[in-house]
Amino acid sequence: MEIIILGFIFGAILQYARLNRFDTIAGMAVLQNFTIAKTMAFTIGLGALLLQAEIYFGWADYHVKPLILTGVLMGGLLFGVGMAILGYCPGTVVISLGQGNLDALPGIVGGVCGSLMFAIAYPYLTPLLGTSLGSLSVRSMLPDNTLFWIAVSALAILFMGIALLLHRLQNQGWRWLYAAIGLALLNVLLTSPSVAGHPMGASAAFAYAGMSLTGLGDAAYWKKIAEPGAWELWFLTGAFLAGLVFALHQRTFRITSVPALWVRYYGANPGKRFFWAFIGGFLLLFGARMAGGCTSGHVISGGMQLAISSLLFAVVVFAAFLATGRYFYRAGGVFAGLSPSRSLATNEL
């Protein structure tokens, strides 16, 4: 029950600042909405200071993801492409489904299929992903406390400064800042062994669900993801409930099939949107499993720990995300002819 409550808080924070919305995430891909970028940058900056202090005083431990170079690079590439096409992240897609966005459902199904495909191919893919270079972080690279805290402070100021600069370029209110503070505090809370001892994460839940439902996948991989996957599944259950409860409370719950921004580029055809949502979800979660994490588990949690693998993953994800946005979303839709073409006049059912 505690995990569901924590997931509910996570979902409430994201929906408060509309960070789960397709139009917000895909809007960043076409450089029309900077909410995602400035929220994540400020969360990492503030969170790095708070989390490093928490660990320094012995109130929490590091959970640094190892640097497996090919896995992080290729996984980040696929993840960024999938996120731009789907318009959701592994954590935000369930919140949007709770709010009535039906296009999130094929994204979830695609994500389960993508992570299950990785679980099945795990023995064959593992040698291709490269060897682990270790759990590298700014802490491990700078054992001297003085140099370490100078680096932490400089990086924190850099990330928060980028966020505030983006806000000056596009002022859409301060909800993003309150959400960033909330996410940083939540991850600090989650990392504490007295609360959860498990940093924020979402993508392992998809692999756990797929393997549980089908009984397929490599046994060694199941052993690796079973415990975190179960935790994250309950965490996302709370996030889904947050989307549903707040949508009902605010009377904004709507059963919709095609987001407004998608309509601008590809029209109101739900079949086309569902097709690409499935493809995006598949790429998103296959990439997440290759890299060992997603936007919440790698970029935010790992970024706050100043893990080298997570910072590299973030750079690759956003590069692929913006490049895909540049070519996937154009007037008329450059991939308009590659999916089902049955038309529907409205995007609401």
Give the pLDDT score at 334: 57
Burial bucket for residue 86 (CB in 10 Å: 0-12, 13-18, 19+): buried
265 close to 330: Cβ distance less than 8 angstroms? yes
Residue 323 reports pLDDT greater than 50: yes
212 close to 234: Cβ distance less than 8 angstroms? no
Residue 192 reports pLDDT greater than 90: yes
Angle at 292 between CA 115 and CA 131, to 5 degrees: 115
Residue 124 reports pLDDT greater than 60: yes
Q: At what angle do helices 2-16 and 219-249 cross, to 10 degrees?
A: 60
Q: Collapsing DSSP states into helix, strand and coil, what is residue 200?
A: coil
**Nearest-angstrom CA–CA distance, 289 and 285:** 6
**Nearest-angstrom CA–CA distance, 293 and 279:** 19
What's CA 290's distance to the chain center, in Å? 14
Mean pLDDT computed over 267-288: 97
pTM: 0.93
**Nearest-angstrom CA–CA distance, 20 and 92:** 5
Residue 133 reports pLDDT greater than 70: yes
**What tokens appear for 141 in the block?**
């690279």
* pLDDT tens-digit readout, 299-315: 999 999 999 999 999 99
- In which residue are the tokens 């800042």 written? 177
Residue 343 reports pLDDT greater than 60: no
Provide the pLDDT confidence category of residue 344 given band limits of 50, 70 and 90: very low
What's CA 289's distance to the chain center, in Å? 12
Give the pLDDT score at 336: 58
* pLDDT tens-digit readout, 243-264: 999 999 999 999 999 999 999 9
262 close to 22: Cβ distance less than 8 angstroms? yes
Give the pLDDT score at 59: 94
* pLDDT tens-digit readout, 59-100: 999 999 999 999 999 999 999 999 999 999 999 999 999 999
For residue 345, what are the CA distances in angstroms to 2, 211, 267, 269, 281?
44, 38, 9, 7, 25
Side chain identity at 132, as an amino acid letter? Answer: S
* pLDDT tens-digit readout, 208-223: 999 999 999 999 999 9
**Nearest-angstrom CA–CA distance, 93 and 97:** 6
**What tokens appear for 294 in the block?**
């997603």
Residue 16 reports pLDDT greater than 60: yes
